[in-house]
Amino acid sequence: MKFLVTSTTLANKLAEMSKVMTSKTASPVLSHFLFELEGEKLQITASDGECFQHSVLPVATVEGSGKVCLPADRLLNALRNMPEQPIGFTINETTLNITVKYTNGHYEFVGNSADEYSTPTSLSHDAKQVQIESKMLNTAISQSLFAVATDDLRPIMNGVYLTMKDEMLQSVATDGLKLVRNTYKLENPLEEVSFLLPTKAAKIINNLTSKVTTPVTINYNEREAIFVLENDTFRCRLLEGRYPNYNSVIPQNNPNSATIDRESLLYAIKRVGLFSSTANGCIVMNFSGINLNVSGKDIDYSTSAEEELFCSYSGENVKIGFKGEHLKQILENTKSKEVIFQLGDHSRAAVITPINEDENIENLSLLMPILVD
């Protein structure tokens, strides 16, 4: 079989799909891309055994049809160093010899039989379906990923928890020290949907939805989900288990409130953080009147830093410490001009919310404190 495709188009698609694959595979064939040619469409599959991505590319000058497995690393490295131009593939389905011709040269290598590459069957009959705007799904995932846990001892927290109900989409992530809960208003009401996306799958879906404008169709059951986009289909295993009751840990009656310019606080934390403890990265925030004092110190290296910021504050004086990196992550993933800190005392979690201009979006972050002297 033969076909012609643009080198840059193919290289970009394969680089994107390679993120599905892993260097440690249970089967050698999973280090290959599966190419299936039918008509003027080339379908490419990449997998790590649990996640599958299928993508369709238009091709030209087609002769024949069939399928073959191509070694991923070799093909990617060859295309990565090639300027944009049409390249022709000639594949001998008997010997599996592959020739790639381009303007001033050619590559020759051997592929693997497509018979060794197993693709999953369709979802069970109890699968459900829901459709959602790609931009909203992308926003929900991207605003939650930074808070996902990486603890193998608590695998249920190593993902983004998505819930759709009535006219609401909610995404939640937590690592036990910080928590983010983002709520978005849907245009059309939906039946109740909830599933837990593993971190790797969430990152891939986040990347795929950033490049399309058409709605995403999600087919899912208790164990798997399939995301169908315009030219891509992604299938993954879901995390199974009961997600923590995150609403119960969010304080409802923190009496102290401060409104602060987000960028001013973010850059102050970055500067002060350079001089704070390398052991715990603690940033101390002292709320008093119209001033916020941000400080950090490292006794081991005799370094310290302190800055004063203006804030609109109401409540009792509160001195509270946070891990600087967590504060930075929350502020960097917030787009509003100002943020509100709702505080109890130095031992209670702080609730951080942006002042959103969009009434259809509600963002909330919770951050556990670090005890300070």
Q: For domain 128-248, give the CATH number.
A: 3.10.150.10
CA-nearest of 58, 64, 73 to 91 is 64
Q: What is the DSSP letter of 120?
A: P
Q: Give residue 244's Cα distance to chain centre.
A: 20
Name 312's bridge partners: 259
Helix (H, G, I), strand (E, B) or coil at 19: helix
Buried b (16+ CB within 10 A) or exposed e, 68-78: bbbbbeebbeb
d(CA 365, CA 352) in angstroms, rounded, equals 5
- Assess whether the region 2-116 and the region 250-367 belong to the same CATH fold: yes
Q: Return the residue matching tokens 């008093």.
A: 288
Phi, psi torsion values for 330, nearest 5 degrees: -65, -45
In the structure encoding, which two tokens stand for residue 139, read together? 């926003």
H or E segment at 225? strand 224-228
What's 50's DSSP letter? S
Contact in structure between 184 and 140 (CB atoms under 8 Å): yes
Domain ranges of the chain: 2-116, 128-248, 250-367
How many CA atoms lie within 13 Å of 328's alpha carbon, on the beta-carbon side? 14
Question: Distance (Å, rounded) from C-alpha 81 to C-alpha 19?
Answer: 19
Q: What is the pLDDT of residue 145?
A: 96
Query: What's the rounded Cα separation, in Å, for the pair 194 and 211?
Result: 24
Are the C-beta atoms of residues 241 and 147 closer than 8 Å to each other?
no
Cβ atoms within 10 Å, residue 15? 12
User: Any residues with CB less than 8 A from the CB of 156 and at least 6 apart, and which?
Assistant: 196, 239, 241, 242, 243, 244
Q: Give the pTM.
A: 0.91
Q: Give the distance between the most distant pair of CA atoms in the chain.
A: 80
**Structure tokens that stand for 360 in this block:** 């259809």
Overall CATH class of domain 250-367? alpha beta
Architecture category of domain 2-116 in CATH: Roll (3.10)
- φ/ψ of 153, rounded to 5, equals -80, -15
Q: Per-residue pLDDT for the chain (373 aa), expressed as one digit of tens each? A: 999 999 999 999 999 999 999 887 778 899 999 999 999 999 999 999 889 999 999 999 999 999 999 999 999 999 988 899 999 999 998 999 999 999 999 999 999 999 989 888 888 777 889 999 999 999 999 999 999 999 888 899 999 999 998 889 999 999 999 999 999 998 888 888 899 999 999 999 999 999 999 999 999 998 999 999 999 999 999 999 999 999 999 998 899 999 999 999 999 999 999 999 888 899 999 998 888 999 999 998 999 999 999 999 999 999 999 999 999 999 999 989 999 999 999 999 999 999 987 888 999 999 999 988 7
Residue ranges of E strands in 229-373: 232-237, 256-261, 282-288, 291-298, 303-310, 312-314, 318-323, 338-343, 350-354, 361-367
